[in-house]
Structures are given as structure tokens and as C-alpha cells.
Amino acid sequence: MADEAGAAAFETLVADLDYPMFVVTAAAEGRRAGCLVGFATQCSMEPPRLLLCMSKRNFTFGVAARAEVLVVHFLGQEDLEVARLFGGETGDEVDKFARCRWRPGPGGAPVLEAGRGWIAGNVLEQVPFGDHVGFVVEPFAGHVGDAGAPQLGFQAVRDLQPGHGA
């Protein structure tokens, strides 16, 4: 267990990082959901794998935990309003998809028109990580839009008040 000084150092140092931000969408049991995700990384090159970490308190977590497919949207700097919608509102109270452009995608998960591109992946595993759960996904479909556009990072949304606390 970390002491107070170690925990404070950790919080100070990670606050300066500029993680890329993503919107992850899912559909299961007749429900659709999506949320802003900042904890994500490629975790294998061969075969390709992506690790997405989602708060257990998030409305989207309940849908994603039952979904076979997740769609990961890679956000550009011009997608700040989409990030605010999917990070600052909760599906408990708001139909986020009534406020943006989207279409049904693989596995029924919504595919947003916003972003630099997207991938759809089969959920291979769910791993608990404290207050978040990691979803290991295997990409099987996707679309590259403006991949050269600058990505939206954490620093651009750090003052966003989340729809649910982490």
C-alpha cells in the first residue's frame, strides 16, 4: 500500500500526462450506451489487442459488461463537444445518441460520425482493476477517417465534470 507521499507524487505526476481520449460505445439486451474513456492502450501487436478501462460506476459499464462487441472512437481535437457529451452526461439521465450523429454498427453498437476513425472489437476478457474494469478487445472492423488530425488528449477535457464519478 502506498504511503501518503507516494500517493501524492503519483497524483501530481499523472495529472500532467496527456492521455488520448476515446469514446467507447456498446449495445446489449436492447440498450445502447457510450462513454468517454481515457485509460486505454494497445496491449498486443500480434495478435492485435486493445485494453479499455471503464469505471464500474459508469452507466456504460453495465451495458459493456454484457456486450460482445465494443466500438472505440479515436477522437480528434475538433471532437471536444462529443467528448463533453459522452463524458459529462450519463445515460442514466440522457439519451446521448439523440444529441449526436451515429448509425448502428458491428454487434449493434453505435458508430459515431465524429472522430478520426473507429475500430470494433470482440470482447475477449474483462479484468478487474480496482474501481475500473479492463476490457481486452480484438479488433475485427474499423474505419480510418482523418487519421493525421491531432488527437484529443486528457488536458483538453481535464476540467470536465463527469456524468458519474470514477
pLDDT in tens, 69-115: 999 999 999 999 999 999 988 888 889 999 999 999 999 999 999 99
pLDDT at 148: 82
Q: In 61-157, which ranges are E strands?
A: 69-74, 102-104, 110-112, 117-129, 132-144
Percentages helix, strand, coil for the chain, rounded to the nearest 5? 25, 40, 35
Structure-model confidence comparison of residues 4 and 98, the more confident one: 98
Query: Residue 10: which residues within 8 A CB-CB, separation 6 or more?
Result: 2
What's the pTM value of the predicted model, to 2 decimals? Answer: 0.92
pLDDT at 3: 82
Which domains are seen in the chain, by residue range? 34-157 (2.30.110.10)
Task: Give just the sign of the alpha carbon dihedral 93, 98, 102, 103.
Answer: positive
Phi first, then psi, for residue 76 (nearest 5°) are -100, 170
Is 80 exceeded by the pLDDT of residue 164?
no
Q: Could you tell me whether strands 22-28 and 39-44 are parallel, antiparallel, or unpaired per DSSP bridges?
A: unpaired
Cell of 8: 501524492
Q: What is the pLDDT of residues 11-63, one digit of tens each?
A: 889 888 889 999 999 999 999 999 999 999 999 999 999 999 999 999 999 99
